[in-house]
Structure 1
Amino acid sequence: MIISLPIDDRPRSHAFYRQALGLTPVGDELGPDGIPEPLQFRLADDVTMMLIPTGGFGWVLGKQPAAAPGQSECILGLRVDSEEAVDAAVARAVAAGAVQVTAPTREPWAYLATFTDPDGHLWMVSTD
């Protein structure tokens, strides 16, 4: 499975996902900017996230525009082991350039917080 997200700036997105979530890009072929092309991160054994510049993303969509900034098409979820890990993940993300949407809070179903990455994609970090 490949989850594809549109991005505006490859170096910024590359740095954000390495710093905020500790992800390592996959791929041996480097683009002119020194970043793997295509820019992908392994999320699980058979799941990768591919970050595609907005123009190319529109081409993949059949020459349709990507969603406007500030509109989220989905929520990307990250499960962690503890409330402290939720707090730490959100702090790392904010330090790397995320915008916190909701502060860590206890809900009946989970302890969670949300933030957007530099391109406005919504992430939820949670623990049971």
Structure 2
Amino acid sequence: MSIMGFQNIFVNLPVKDLQSSMKFFTELGFQFNPQFTNEMAACMVINEHIYAMLLTEEHFKTFTTKGIADSAKTTEAIVALSAESREKVDEVVNKALEAGGKPSKEPQDYGFMYSRSFQDPDGHLWEVLYMEESAIHQENSESAV
């Protein structure tokens, strides 16, 4: 469903070492679209409508007149991805930590929702979460009243 006519989302992230970032995310199981990947940028496929553009810092600077946040010291965004199960949350985050990522915060377990976070090699924050379908449907029906 597209409420406003948008079809895809591209999250643009500056990276210090493109090859290192691609290796990290490949170890997590992500693939890259070679059509939009070169020595300055890599198009990481999250799903058929969501992509992360990993851009060298120099290339990233061509898209903005602002300075680039030092993600080792500040949070510029948290990229949150929903997973199909609690086990998938653990699998992805464990792979990230094994591949050189760093823990971001303690796991959050609310019973109906479970999440874990990690920092990629550039310090960007990623959260992987699972929410039970019944909780999503209950929330939607309550907000429709």
TM class by smaller structure: 0.7 to 0.9
Gaps (5+ residues) in structure 2? 1-8, 132-145
State how 1:1-128 maps to structure 2 within 5 Å: 1-20=9-28, 22-28=29-35, 31=38, 38-62=41-65, 64-70=66-72, 71-107=74-110, 110-128=113-131
Structure 1 residues 29 and 91, CA, compared in 2 at 3 Å: closer, same or farther?
closer
RMSD of the TM alignment (CA)? 2.0
- Which amino acid counterpart does residue 25 of structure 1 have in structure 2? F
Q: What TM-score does the superposition give when structure 2 sets the normalisation length? A: 0.74
Specify the code of the residue in structure 2 equivalent to 1:11.
Answer: Q
Q: Aligned AA for 2:83?
A: V
Task: Read off the aligned partner of 2:71 and give its amino acid letter.
Answer: P
Q: CA deviation at 1:110?
A: 1.5
Give 3-state SS (helix, strand or coil) of 1:102's partner.
Answer: coil
| Structure ranking higher on relative contact order (CA contacts 8 Å, 6+ apart) | 1
Gaps spanning 5+ residues in structure 1: where? Answer: none
Between Structure 1 and Structure 2, how many residues are aligned? 122
User: Max radius of gyration: which structure?
Assistant: 2
Structure 1 outlier segments of 4+, above 3 Å: 28-32
More helix by share: 2
Measure the CA separation in 2 of the matches of 1:89 and 1:39: 20
- Secondary structure of 2:104's counterpart equals strand
Asked whether the 8 Å contact 1:87–1:104 carries over to 2, the reply is no
Distance 2:53 2:20 in 1: 14
